[in-house]
């Protein structure tokens, strides 16, 4: 509203007709810029036709969206099934590997037990042999001790006889 009053004041205070005409032309151009031309305005029939076309396109897009959604749901379900199969297969493989490992561990444990028992038997045999050898050495040592004592006593007696014989020989 204020722009209309300003326009009126500018036209009233214009010094000549040429300036007034220029102000009126500028105002009309300004109005033309703000409002579309009458031939550019849509009619009710055209608007209704556009609305129907847009509604049809919206329905088509909704149908396509539902179809895509259905396809995606089927794909997701199929992938879930595939994933379940893979999980079950991996579990079966894991159980098989665990079973194999347990068998291998038990076999190794058995082998180690056998080896330990064998080493214990060998150790007992070696201990027995050592005890027998020690007893034999003790027996031989005792026998040699007796022999040494016999020889020492025999030698002492021989010396004593020689000394007594020498004392008698020189004494008499």
- Per domain, the residue ranges of the chain are 42-171
Contact 42, 50 (CB under 8 A): yes
Do 5 and 14 touch, CB atoms closer than 8 A? no
pLDDT at 39: 62
Q: What angle (nearest 5°) sits at the alpha carbon of residue 69, between those of residues 65 and 71?
A: 120
CA pair distance 10, 26, nearest whole angstrom: 12
For the chain, the average pLDDT equals 90
Chunked into runs of 10 residues, the chain (172 residues) has average pLDDT values of 78 88 86 68 76 92 94 95 96 96 96 96 96 94 93 92 89 74
Question: Which residue shows structure tokens 């009710």?
Answer: 44
Q: What is the pLDDT at residue 9? A: 85
pTM of the complete model: 0.42
Q: What is the DSSP letter of 15?
A: S
109-141 burial: b if 16+ Cβ within 10 Å, else e: eeeeeeeeeeeeeeeeeeeeeeeeeeeeeeeee
Q: Which helix (H) or strand (E) holds 117?
A: helix 44-171
Q: How far apart are CA 42 and CA 50, in angstroms?
A: 10
Instruction: Please calculate the CA angle 87-91-96 and round it to the nearest 5 degrees.
Output: 150
Write out pLDDT tens, residues 49-84: 888 999 999 999 999 999 999 999 999 999 999 999
């Amino acid at each position: 509203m204020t722009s209309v009053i300003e326009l009126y004041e500018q036209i009233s205070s214009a010094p000549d007709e040429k300036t007034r005409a220029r102000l009126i032309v500028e105002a009309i151009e300004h109005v033309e810029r703000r409002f579309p031309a009458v031939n550019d305005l849509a009619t009710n029939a055209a608007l209704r036709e556009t609305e129907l076309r847009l509604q049809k396109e919206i329905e088509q897009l909704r149908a396509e969206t539902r179809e895509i959604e259905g396809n995606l749901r089927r794909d997701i379900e199929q992938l879930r099934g595939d994933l379940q199969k893979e999980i079950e297969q991996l579990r079966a493989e894991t159980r098989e590997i665990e079973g194999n490992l347990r068998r291998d561990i038990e076999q190794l444990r058995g082998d180690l037990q056998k080896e330990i028992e064998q080493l214990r038997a060998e150790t007992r045999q070696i201990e027995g042999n050592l005890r027998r050898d020690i007893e034999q050495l003790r027996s031989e040592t005792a026998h040699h001790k007796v022999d040494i004592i016999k020889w020492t006593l025999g030698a002492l007696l021989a010396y004593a006889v020689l000394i007594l014989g020498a004392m008698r020989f020189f004494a008499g």
